[in-house]
Structure 1
Amino acid sequence: MSSGTTRTESSERESAELIADLVSDARDAMAEIADYDQRQADRLARAVGWAVYEEERCRELSELAVETTGLGDVEDKYRKKRRKIPGVLDDLLGEPTVGVIETDPERNLTEIAKPVGVVGAVVPSTNPGATPTILTMMALNSRNAIILSPSPRGRAVCEWVVEHVHEQLDRIGAPQDLVQMVTPPVSKAKTYELMDQVDLLQVTGSKDNVRAGQESGTPNYCVGEGNPVSIVDETADVAAAAERIATSKSFDNGTSCSSEGNAVVVDAVYEETVAALEAEGGYLCDDTERSKLREALFPDGHGSLNADALASEPSELAALADIEAPAARRADFLMTEGRGTGPEYPLSGEKITTVLNVFRVPDVDAAFELTRDVLDYEGAGHSAGIHTSDPERATRAGEEIDVARLLVNQTHSFSNGGHYANGLGSTLSEGGGTWGGNQLDENVTFEQFYQTTTVTRPIEGATPPDAAALFDPYPDA
Structure 2
Amino acid sequence: MIRVDKDLLSIQEVRNLIEKAYNAQKVLATLSQEEIDKIVKAMAEEGARASQWLAKVAAEETEIGVYEHKIIKNLFATKRVYEVIKDLKTVGIIHKDEKNRVYDIAEPVGVIAALTPTTNPTSTALFKALIAIKSRNAVIFSPHPRAVDCTSQAAEIMHKAAVRAGAPEEIIGCINFPTLEATNLLMKHPKTSMILATGGSGMVKAAYSSGKPAFGVGPGNVPAYIERSANVNKAVKNIIDSKTFDNGTICSSEQALICEKLNSQNVRQALTEHGGAFLKQEDIHKLERYAFRCDGSLNPDIVGKPATYIAERAGIKIDSNIKALIVELDGVGINFPLSREKLSPILAFYEVENWKEACELSKQLLALGGMGHTLSIHSQDQEVIMRFALEKPASRIVVNTPSCLGAIGGTTGLVPSLTLGCGTLGGNSTSDNVGPMNLINIKRLAYETISPEDLQRQLFSNEINSNKNEEIVEKIVTEILKKISKC
- For Structure 1 versus Structure 2, the TM-score category normalised by the shorter chain is over 0.9
User: 1:470/1:132 Cα in 2 relative to 1: closer, same or farther (>3 Å)?
Assistant: farther
Aligned residue number for residue 484 of structure 2: none
Q: Alpha-carbon deviation of 1:291?
A: 0.9
Q: Residue 58 of structure 2 contacts residue 150 of structure 2 at CA under 8 Å; is this kept in 1?
A: yes
C-alpha distance in structure 2 between counterparts of 1:118 and 1:167, whole Å: 18
1:382 is aligned, of 373, 378, 388, to 373
Q: Residue 44 of structure 1 contacts residue 137 of structure 1 at CA under 8 Å; is this kept in 2?
A: no
Is 1:349–2:340 an aligned residue pair? yes
Q: Residue 77 of structure 2 contacts residue 124 of structure 2 at CA under 8 Å; is this kept in 1?
A: no
2:98 is aligned, of 90, 97, 105, to 105
1:432 aligns to what SS in structure 2? coil
- Equivalences for residues 45-444 of structure 1 within 5 A: 45-54=40-49, 57-182=50-175, 184-197=176-189, 198-300=192-294, 302=296, 304-325=297-318, 327=319, 329-419=320-410, 421-444=411-434
Q: Residue 295 of structure 1 contacts residue 301 of structure 1 at CA under 8 Å; is this kept in 2?
A: no
Q: Residue 222 of structure 2 contacts residue 365 of structure 2 at CA under 8 Å; is this kept in 1?
A: no
Q: Residue 232 of structure 1 contacts residue 264 of structure 1 at CA under 8 Å; is this kept in 2?
A: yes
Deviating more after overlay: 382-391 vs 271-280: 271-280
Q: Alpha-carbon deviation of 1:286?
A: 1.0
C-alpha distance in structure 1 between counterparts of 2:185 and 2:10, whole Å: 7
Q: Residue 301 of structure 1 contacts residue 346 of structure 1 at CA under 8 Å; is this kept in 2?
A: no
C-alpha distance in structure 2 between counterparts of 1:210 and 1:19, whole Å: 20
Q: Alpha-carbon deviation of 1:451?
A: 1.0
1:226-279 deviation digits (Å, cap 9, x = unpaired): 231111111111111101101100100001001111111111112211211111
C-alpha distance in structure 1 between counterparts of 2:135 and 2:70, whole Å: 27
C-alpha distance in structure 1 between counterparts of 2:433 and 2:143, whole Å: 21
What amino acid does structure 1 have at the position aligned with 2:41? R
C-alpha distance in structure 1 between counterparts of 2:466 and 2:98, whole Å: 25
1:50-79 deviation digits (Å, cap 9, x = unpaired): 22201xx21111111110000100001112
Deviating more after overlay: 230-239 vs 464-473: 464-473
What amino acid does structure 2 have at the position aligned with 1:211? K
What amino acid does structure 2 have at the position aligned with 1:367? A
Q: Residue 226 of structure 2 contacts residue 235 of structure 2 at CA under 8 Å; is this kept in 1?
A: yes
1:384-433 deviation digits (Å, cap 9, x = unpaired): 011111011111001111110111111111110113x5221001110011
Is 1:37–2:32 an aligned residue pair? yes
C-alpha distance in structure 2 between counterparts of 1:15 and 1:470, whole Å: 67
1:420-448 deviation digits (Å, cap 9, x = unpaired): x5221001110011100001011111111
C-alpha distance in structure 2 between counterparts of 1:384 and 1:209, whole Å: 23
Is 1:20–2:15 an aligned residue pair? yes
Q: Residue 122 of structure 2 contacts residue 151 of structure 2 at CA under 8 Å; is this kept in 1?
A: yes
User: 1:458/1:62 Cα in 2 relative to 1: closer, same or farther (>3 Å)?
Assistant: same
* RMSD of Structure 2 on Structure 1 (CA): 2.2
C-alpha distance in structure 1 between counterparts of 2:142 and 2:39, whole Å: 21
What amino acid does structure 2 have at the position aligned with 1:366? E
Q: Residue 237 of structure 1 contacts residue 388 of structure 1 at CA under 8 Å; is this kept in 2?
A: yes
Q: Residue 51 of structure 1 contacts residue 161 of structure 1 at CA under 8 Å; is this kept in 2?
A: no
Q: Residue 46 of structure 1 contacts residue 137 of structure 1 at CA under 8 Å; is this kept in 2?
A: no
1:453 aligns to what SS in structure 2? strand
C-alpha distance in structure 2 between counterparts of 1:319 and 1:350, whole Å: 21
C-alpha distance in structure 1 between counterparts of 2:464 and 2:214, whole Å: 42
C-alpha distance in structure 2 between counterparts of 1:410 and 1:425, whole Å: 16
C-alpha distance in structure 1 between counterparts of 2:101 and 2:403, whole Å: 42
2:30 aligns to what SS in structure 1? coil
Q: Residue 29 of structure 2 contacts residue 137 of structure 2 at CA under 8 Å; is this kept in 1?
A: no
Q: How many residues align?
A: 462
What amino acid does structure 2 have at the position aligned with 1:194? L
Q: Residue 314 of structure 1 contacts residue 330 of structure 1 at CA under 8 Å; is this kept in 2?
A: no
Q: Alpha-carbon deviation of 1:17?
A: 4.6
What amino acid does structure 2 have at the position aligned with 1:87? R
1:129 aligns to what SS in structure 2? helix
What's the TM-score, normalizing by structure 1? 0.92
1:123-174 deviation digits (Å, cap 9, x = unpaired): 0000110001101100101110000000011101011112222321232232
Q: Alpha-carbon deviation of 1:284?
A: 0.9
1:221 aligns to what SS in structure 2? strand
C-alpha distance in structure 1 between counterparts of 2:156 and 2:285, whole Å: 46
Structure 2 gaps, min length 5 = 478-487
Consecutive aligned runs of 4 or more in structure 1 exceeding 3 Å deviation:
10-18, 460-465, 467-477
2:327 aligns to what SS in structure 1? strand
1:80 aligns to what SS in structure 2? helix
What amino acid does structure 2 have at the position aligned with 1:268? L
User: 1:229/1:143 Cα in 2 relative to 1: closer, same or farther (>3 Å)?
Assistant: same
Q: Residue 197 of structure 2 contacts residue 216 of structure 2 at CA under 8 Å; is this kept in 1?
A: yes
What amino acid does structure 2 have at the position aligned with 1:433? G
2:220 aligns to what SS in structure 1? coil
2:414 aligns to what SS in structure 1? coil
Q: Which has the larger radius of gyration?
A: 2
2:158 aligns to what SS in structure 1? helix
User: 1:417/1:469 Cα in 2 relative to 1: closer, same or farther (>3 Å)?
Assistant: farther
2:435 is aligned, of 411, 420, 445, to 445
C-alpha distance in structure 2 between counterparts of 1:275 and 1:467, whole Å: 69
Q: Alpha-carbon deviation of 1:117?
A: 0.8
